[in-house]
Structure 1
Amino acid sequence: MSDSRMKVAVVFGGKSTEHDVSIISAGHILANIDMEKYFVEPFYVKKDGTFADHQELTLCLENLLNEHRDKIFPAMKEGEIELKKWIAKGTSSDFLGGIAGKKFDIVFPVLHGLNGEDGTIQGMLEFMGVPYVGCGVSASAFCIDKEATKVICQVNDIPVMDYTAVKKYEWENSTENIINDIQKKMNYPFYVKPARLGSSIGISRAENTVELKTSLKDAFKYDCKVVVEQGVESPRELTVGVMGIDDQVSLSAIGEFSRGSNLYFNFDSKYGKTGHKGLVPAPLEENIQEIIEKYSHLIFKKFELSGFARIDYFLCGDKVYLNEINTMPGFETGDTFMRIWQNKGVDMQKFIDKAIEYGVLSFHSKSTRLYEIEIKSLIE
Structure 2
Amino acid sequence: MMKDLQNKTIGVFFGGQNPEHEISIITGEFVIAELRKMGLKVIAVYIDKNGIWYSNKKISELKFFQKDYAKKLENLSSCYLDLTLSRNKLVLHCNKFLSRKKIDIDFVFPTFHGLYGEDGTIQGLTEFFHVPYAGCGVYASSVSIDKGLTKKLLSSLNIPTTDFIISYRHEFTSNDDSLIFKIKRKLTFPVFVKPARAGSSIGITKVKNADELKVALALAFHYDTKIIVENSVENIVDLTCAVLSDGSKIVTSDVQESVFGSSDLFDYSMKYLEDGGAQTGNAESNLIIPANISNKHTEKIKEYSKHIFKEIDASGTIRVDFLLNKKTGELYANEINTLPGTLYHHLWEKTGYQINEVLEKMLLQGYARWRESKEIHKDFKTDVLNNANQLKLQHHSE
For residues 193-208 of structure 1, what are the structure 2 equivalents within 5 Å?
Answer: 193-208=194-209
Name stretches of at least 5 consecutive residues in structure 1 with no aligned partner.
Answer: 68-86
AA matched with 1:300 = F
User: Once the two structures are superposed, what CA deviation does each residue of 1:265-308 show, in whole Å capped at 9, x if it has no partner?
Assistant: 11112012275431111122111111111111210111111111
What secondary structure, in the 3-state scheme, does the structure 2 residue paired with 1:268 have?
helix
Decide whether the 8 Å contact of 1:43 with 1:95 is kept in 2.
no
Decide whether the 8 Å contact of 1:164 with 1:182 is kept in 2.
yes
Name stretches of at least 5 consecutive residues in structure 2 with no aligned partner.
Answer: 68-72, 90-103, 278-282, 387-398
Q: How many residues align?
A: 351
Give the Cα separation in 2 of the matches to 1:105 and 1:167.
39
- Equivalent residue, structure 1, for 2:360: 353
What secondary structure, in the 3-state scheme, does the structure 1 residue paired with 2:227 have?
strand
1:93 is aligned, of 58, 79, 96, to 79
- Equivalent residue, structure 2, for 1:373: 380
1:46 is aligned, of 38, 45, 48, to 48
Distance apart, 1:4 and its partner CA = 5.1
Distance apart, 1:6 and its partner CA = 2.8
Instruction: Indicate the larger mover: 41-50 or 362-371.
Output: 362-371
Greater RCO, CA 8 A, separation 6+: 1
Cα distance change of structure 1 residues 21 and 128 upon mapping to structure 2, 3 Å threshold:
same
Decide whether the 8 Å contact of 1:253 with 1:343 is kept in 2.
yes
Give the Cα separation in 1 of the matches to 2:201 and 2:290.
23
Give the Cα separation in 2 of the matches to 1:96 and 1:213.
46
For residues 1-380 of structure 1, what are the structure 2 equivalents within 5 Å?
Answer: 5-35=7-37, 37-52=39-54, 54=56, 58=58, 61=61, 63-64=63-64, 93-94=79-80, 96=82, 99-100=86-87, 102=89, 103-244=104-245, 248-273=249-274, 276-277=283-284, 278-317=287-326, 318-331=329-342, 337-375=344-382
Cα distance change of structure 1 residues 130 and 185 upon mapping to structure 2, 3 Å threshold:
same
Distance apart, 1:48 and its partner CA = 0.6
Distance apart, 1:114 and its partner CA = 0.4
AA matched with 2:342 = F
AA matched with 2:268 = F
Give the Cα separation in 2 of the matches to 1:343 and 1:130.
33
Give the Cα separation in 1 of the matches to 2:246 and 2:333.
21
AA matched with 1:93 = C
Instruction: Indicate the larger mover: 12-21 or 31-40.
Output: 31-40
Cα distance change of structure 1 residues 4 and 355 upon mapping to structure 2, 3 Å threshold:
closer
- TM-score (norm: length of structure 2): 0.82
Decide whether the 8 Å contact of 2:195 with 2:220 is kept in 1.
yes
User: Once the two structures are superposed, what CA deviation does each residue of 1:52-102 show, in whole Å capped at 9, x if it has no partner?
Assistant: 364xx73684634756xxxxxxxxxxxxxxxxxxx9xx9993455684472
Decide whether the 8 Å contact of 2:193 with 2:206 is kept in 1.
yes
AA matched with 2:29 = G
Give the percent of matched residue pairs that are identical in Structure 1 and Structure 2: 34
- TM-score (norm: length of structure 1): 0.85
AA matched with 1:118 = D
Instruction: Indicate the larger mover: 277-286 or 107-116.
Output: 277-286
Cα distance change of structure 1 residues 34 and 63 upon mapping to structure 2, 3 Å threshold:
closer
Give the Cα separation in 2 of the matches to 1:243 and 1:59.
29
Cα distance change of structure 1 residues 37 and 169 upon mapping to structure 2, 3 Å threshold:
same
Give the Cα separation in 1 of the matches to 2:24 and 2:238.
23
Spell out structure 1 runs of 4+ moving beyond 3 A. 34-37, 59-67, 90-101
